[in-house]
Amino acid sequence: MPIELQSRARPVFFNLYRIKQPVTAIVSFGHRVAGVVLALFAPVLVYVLQLSLASPRGYASAVALFQQASVRVIAVLLIWALAHHVLAGVRHLLFDIHVGTSLHAARISAWIVLAIELSIVILAIGVIL
Amino acid sequence: MLGFIVFLLVHVSRRAPLSYEAWKAWLTQRSVSVALLLFFLALLLHTWVGVRDVILDYVHPLAARFSLLALLAVSQIAIGAWVLAIIFGFR
């Protein structure tokens, strides 16, 4: 290895859990993960809609479903996913119209997304759980 | 889509439909069912774009890619047909 590179040897590892990710990467990846989670749950939501409209008994079952703690926890997680996806999505849309594209602004908007999303999740936990 | 979600939340918090009849009556109102259909149309197009991007990013072999995209397209259309059936009542 050339002398210059040897004296500035950097650690090389491919274990993702050991690489320090910038906040912007976390927000962006979270946007994708949240999207996939929401897409997977969409049919479930359609099913619950169908159940609630089918008959009074169906409606009662749908309501009873949401009394269960496990379902409520899932509901909070879905709200978290939706909040993150929407907020990070708006951030992406702003990038598309060239708003906040400097590195500094991007890092700030990433933290703003996380802050708003946290408040939404706390609110959701308060309302649902 | 966001507008619809906000509208839904506002309506439910203001006057939560507490019975099957109230819920069904509200949802089958022409304005609400059209809005719901538009919401799902937008949602299905949106999920197509999103999941397609994920598939294109991570799945490279052509056969697997084609099959997954086809599966995605079919499931989106199926969900759309399902929502239509739910809202217009023929099952």
Convert the pLDDT of each residue in A18-38 to its tens digit: 777 888 989 999 999 999 999
**Tens digits of residue pLDDT in B33-81:** 888 888 888 888 889 999 999 999 999 998 999 999 999 999 999 999 9
**What percent of chain A is predicted at pLDDT more than 70?**
91
Q: What is the DSSP string of B45-86?
A: HHHHHHHHHHHHHH--SHHHHHHHHHHHHHHHHHHHHHHHHH
Structure pTM?
0.81
Q: Which residue type, as a one-letter code, is found at position A69?
A: A
> Closest approach of chain A CAs to the CA of B15, in angstroms?
16
Of B21, B51, B75, the CB nearest to A36: B51
Of B2, B27, B47, the CB nearest to A42: B47
